[in-house]
Structure 1
Amino acid sequence: MDVDVDHYNVLGLPSGEEGAKLTEKEIAKGYKLKALVLHPDKRPDDPNAHENFQKLKLSYEVLKDEKARKLFDDLLRAKREQRARRGQQDAKRRRMVSDLEDRERAAYAEDPGEVERRRVEKIDRELKEQVDKIRAMFANKGVPVVKKETVGAKKNGIEEDEKKILNVRWEKVDSEGYSAERLRELFSKFGEVKDVVIRSGKEKKKRGQALVEMATEEAAVAALGNVYGKLSNPLLVLPYGKKVTASTIPTRESDDLNNFSGINHQAYEDNILGKLQKAAENQKRKA
């Protein structure tokens, strides 16, 4: 039996949710009306008349059987839900690409110097907050300070999804560039990759850009700062929505800790925290 056949349509009846509500009498009536038209005696010149009439009888038998009809209704419902999910995913992908393009236009429309100043201030502020946490931990005899969550605070579903998305850049788009398959291979080492969207446009791009959606936030965090790509064409991996300028694209010469961008900023912060911890241990030994 062909699973793509809609038995309701074969009998000339409405399908989907409306078809599932039809009574046995309505189904039998539909079959009789259709049989009067497709019966081989009524179509002596049609070489397919017998085959078509057999298909009609089969569809009628399927809908007459209570169990078979329920399974068929379940199949139609599952297909409708599958089409709806695909439509939602396509709409979500279009929104992601459109949102990224809007953010990029807004970022490049601003004064680069102002953008860089705000970026450095943000990194400096976050670094100070982290250092304060380390100091508080030592003040409490090594017990880490746990930040309490605000009662009643709710996270928007879209914001939760964005935490799983990574913004990936690279300098060269020629033979040394990256395909969706190659990016999926690199990021899958840190967890399941749900989707990879390579940004494309009518104008010629000097740099490559893509969105990588991980299955979980933990996988996205694990991949952040650990995916480097080729040494000749390194990857810049940032959280989704982080504004960057051309100066943040990594190169083989950008390994010094004074470069506050992408992976190097994390290395700089880890270095500072390591020095603080070592200083605290030395102070304890002296005491």
Structure 2
Amino acid sequence: MTSSKIHDIDLYELLGISITSTTKEIKKAYRQKALKCHPDKLPDNPKAAELFHELTRALEILTDEAARAAYDAVHKAKTEAKQRRRSLSSRYKKLREDLEERERRAQEEEARLSHANFHCRTDEDKLEAEVERLRKEGSRQVKEEQEAVRQQLLHEARVKEAAQTLEAEGSRLRVTWRAARDDPSNGGYDYTTLHTIFSKHGEVTALILSAKKKGSALVEYSTMQAAEERRPVPAPAPAVSAGGGDFEELVLRRMRQAAEKQGLERSAEPLS
């Protein structure tokens, strides 16, 4: 989306939001739209990259206070002009459009002649200046949202790949711990921490943190035997507090109990 086209595009309509939307609502709408039309998801759609670029530029302008103010001035003027045109009778509509066109051309000529004077610039000139500033400076908020979208896509790809490669249910362990629903740290356990804990006792081929439920993950070992040796004894589990080493100690204790129980069962088998 070039700066000359921004004037003619309703950025709020593009994101599916209202002109009174907050920055948080703008970012949320951007993520929802960007995830649907990301070029990585639609490699065969030549328009996906163009739409994704337009969404990114819309986010860039509407999350910057100065750029949004400049855009809103243009947007308001165009909206008011559209409403006025609709209210005119068919008899005078053509006459009014011709008059506005002449006024627009006169304003463009005046702006071109006095472009060096900032105070004489039109609203559209100011918007173009803000867009150029954003292009040169870069937008931190845009980079953050793009990274969030990239991480979401990576997560979805890992889940999809894991679902295709997981085989026997017996080689998986469902791990749960205490974590509040709104806890951003997920009870203190992330992918790296859990992978380190379970990799000490066998080859972990897949580890997926639940995207919907806090305090839940799925661990898959390379063999069913490895998972059985590390499967906790099916007994009432004591409360596990988030953080610290309590969780790891509990898991290791259950693994040892399972291994001892399996050894006792094998020793109790009748001799042939």
Higher helix share: 2
Shorter-chain TM-score above 0.5 = no
TM-score by length of 2: 0.29
TM-score by length of 1: 0.28
